[in-house]
Amino acid sequence: MIRLSEIDRIDGSSKVNDLRYAVGRIYSDNYSTTNRSRLVSVSECGNYCYTEEVASEYSKTAPIRYTGLSKQPSWLVWNGIFS
């Protein structure tokens, strides 16, 4: 898998910057127990994002993971927010 920062370098896009501006946004996340997460931060290199589970608007399922932040590849978070 090509890292998001490499894709930006190759095609001149700004996907990593898109993520940095989207910090705080809640998005659909299939890897969350509630299927909803909030983007908390983007790593300095831009290859990883830190997210936290949030309660869903459409379900009574509460977040199970109270361990703090999850580290996810930035391409996966970008797809969840912008696709």
Amino acid symbol at 60: K
The residue extents of the domains of the chain are 4-82
* Residue range 32-44, pLDDT digits in tens: 888 899 999 999 9
Residues 6 or more apart from 3 whose CB is under 8 A from it?
46, 47, 73, 74, 75
* Residue range 39-66, pLDDT digits in tens: 999 999 899 999 998 888 877 777 776 6
Give the single-character DSSP code of 57: S
Give the single-character DSSP code of 45: S
Helical pair 74-82 and 4-11, crossing angle rounded to 10 deg? 70
Which pair of structure tokens corresponds to residue 35? 């299927």
- How long, in residues, is the chain? 83
